[in-house]
């Protein structure tokens, strides 16, 4: 690296390091604080970052185990956090699988086939993707109310409704997969078709095995997006034991029933796995995100 360096470089490097470390300290303060609070006893206790007398009471409650303190008073878990987490994961896995299956097949058609209205459909998908579902919640509510009268597992207050509703957000994933398909040379598939393979076979046995990386990325993206979906689930789900984590978690912080410590433990417990998955996969996710989406 042939470099022309101004003289003040050492000094500037030092300032940059210090500045970034200070910034990181401020940025991480809320996260560290929450971990610390989850080990404090009581819901209103204050204290330093390192709790003086750590207590596991909130963690017992978050894991659904009744907690008995030294005075012999037993507290029941306020909310079924693990059930909410399970609901979230269930909904997210099923809808990610569906999204992956459907968007892969459509992306294949958009990338490889010629048909009427292709450009128009692709463009309008991009436009409609930007309309937030919050705005049409009244309509979505009415829609699922109607469907539910005839197909009970797709009605209001079912996980089926939340899963199906999440299929509306497929355009982004179709674009991502299509971009990847475009980058793969099509001569292999053409050779297969010349040898007598059907279009479906060329897709299934040649293109799909080549695209595993992007499929993993889209699956993780869809998974994270569904886990974090709030507006639709908040309107479609009602019963406490049906809620997803995103909808249920806010119940800890109602003015009348302020369970700050319990919330902290539940937040760390449920947020940690998602954070770890995200950090682990960030290299691939970032590429997919910059393709045009914004985290919701």
Partner 1 sequence: MIRVFLKWGALAALVAAALYLILALYVQHEFVFAMLFLVLTASAVAVFVSKRLYAHRYIFPAIAGMGLFVIFPLMYTVGIGFTNYSASNLLSFEQVNENLLSRTYQSEAVSYDYKAFEREGGYVFYLEGEHQALVTPPVDLADGETRAPVFPADAMPEGEPLAIRDIIQLRQSLSELKLVTDDNRELSQASLRSFAAIHPQFTRHDNGTLTNNQTGETYFPNHDTGFYVNAEGQKLVPGWTVNIGWDNYVKVVTDPSISGPFLQIFVWTLSFALATVLFTLALGLVLANLLQWDQIRGKGFYRTMLILPYAVPAFISILVFKGLFNQNFGEINLVLEGLFGVRPDWFSDPDLARTMILIVNTWLGYPYMMLLCMGLLQAIPRDLYEASAMDGAGPINNLFNITLPLIIKPLMPLLIASFAFNFNNFVLIALLTGGAPDIIGASTPAGTTDLLVSYTYRIAFQDSGQNFGLAAAIATAIFIVVGALSLINLKLSKIKV
Could you tell me which of 165, 119, 4, 69 has the C-alpha nearest to residue 156? 165
Please report, as residue ranges, which positions from 115 to 144 form the binding site for partner 1 (by CB under 8 A): 115, 118-119, 121-123, 125-140, 142-143
179 is a contact residue toward partner 1 (CB under 8 A): no
- Residue window 55-94: x/- pattern of binding to partner 1, with contact defined by CB under 8 A: ----------------------------------------
Please report, as residue ranges, which positions from 226 to 245 form the binding site for partner 1 (by CB under 8 A): 227-228, 230-231, 234-235, 245
Helix (H, G, I), strand (E, B) or coil at 211: coil
Could you tell me which of 29, 179, 162 has the C-alpha nearest to residue 98? 162
Choosing from 24, 65, 208, 216, the residue that interacts with partner 1 (CB under 8 A) is: 24
Q: Which is nearer to partner 1, 66 or 253 (CB)?
A: 253
Q: Which is nearer to partner 1, 77 or 168 (CB)?
A: 168
50 is a contact residue toward partner 1 (CB under 8 A): no
Choosing from 63, 83, 94, 102, the residue that interacts with partner 1 (CB under 8 A) is: 102
Q: Which is nearer to partner 1, 19 or 66 (CB)?
A: 19
Query: Among 58-66, 71-79, 204-212, 272-280, which window interacts with partner 1 (CB under 8 A)?
Result: 272-280
**Degrees, nearest 5: CA angle 105-107-111:** 120
Q: Which is nearer to partner 1, 66 or 151 (CB)?
A: 151
Q: Which is nearer to partner 1, 68 or 157 (CB)?
A: 157
- Residue window 244-263: x/- pattern of binding to partner 1, with contact defined by CB under 8 A: -xx--xx-xx----x-x--x
Q: Which is nearer to partner 1, 191 or 279 (CB)?
A: 279
Give the total of residues touching partner 1 (CB under 8 A): 102
212 is a contact residue toward partner 1 (CB under 8 A): no
Length of the chain measured in residues: 296
Q: Which two tokens stand for residue 295?
A: 């985290």
Closest approach of partner 1 to the CB of residue 14, in Å? 10
Element (H, E) at 258: strand 257-258
**153-162: which pairs have CB atoms within 8 A and are 24 or more residues apart?**
156/236, 156/238, 157/236, 157/237, 157/238, 157/239, 157/242, 158/236, 158/242, 159/87, 159/90, 159/91, 159/237, 159/242, 161/236, 162/91, 162/95, 162/229, 162/232, 162/233, 162/236, 162/237, 162/244
**Helices 212-228 and 81-112, axial angle in degrees (round to 10):** 140
**Which DSSP symbol is given to 49?**
S
211 is a contact residue toward partner 1 (CB under 8 A): no
Q: Which is nearer to partner 1, 9 or 68 (CB)?
A: 9
Q: How far apart are CA 296 and CA 281, in angstroms?
A: 17
39 is a contact residue toward partner 1 (CB under 8 A): no
């Amino acid at each position: 690296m042939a470099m022309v360096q101004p003289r003040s470089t050492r000094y500037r490097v030092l300032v940059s390091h210090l500045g970034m470390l200070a910034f990181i300290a401020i940025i991480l303060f809320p996260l560290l604080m929450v971990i610390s609070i989850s080990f404090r006893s009581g819901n209103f206790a204050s204290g330093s970052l390192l709790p003086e007398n750590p207590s596991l009471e909130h963690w017992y409650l978050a894991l659904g185990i009744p907690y008995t303190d030294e005075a012999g008073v037993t507290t029941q878990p306020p909310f079924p956090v693990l059930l909410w987490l399970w609901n979230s994961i269930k909904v997210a896995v099923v809808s990610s699988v569906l999204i992956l299956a459907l968007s892969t097949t459509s992306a294949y058609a958009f990338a490889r086939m010629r048909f009427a209205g292709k450009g128009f459909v692709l463009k309008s998908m991009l436009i409609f993707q930007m309309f937030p579902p919050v705005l049409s919640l009244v309509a979505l509510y009415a829609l699922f109310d109607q469907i539910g009268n005839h197909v009970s597992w797709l009605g209001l207050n079912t996980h089926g409704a939340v899963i199906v509703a999440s299929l509306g957000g497929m355009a982004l994933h179709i674009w991502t997969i299509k971009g990847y398909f475009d980058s793969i040379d099509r001569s292999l598939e053409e050779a297969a078709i010349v040898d007598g393979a059907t279009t479906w076979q060329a897709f299934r046995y040649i293109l799909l095995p080549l695209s595993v990386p992007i499929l993993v990325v889209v699956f993780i993206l869809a998974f994270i997006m569904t886990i974090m979906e709030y507006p639709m689930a908040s309107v479609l789900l009602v019963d406490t034991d049906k809620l997803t984590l995103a909808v249920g978690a806010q119940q800890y912080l109602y003015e009348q029933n302020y369970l700050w410590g319990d919330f902290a433990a539940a937040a760390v417990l449920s947020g940690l796995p998602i954070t770890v998955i995200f950090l682990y996969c960030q290299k691939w996710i970032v590429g997919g995100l910059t393709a045009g989406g914004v985290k919701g």
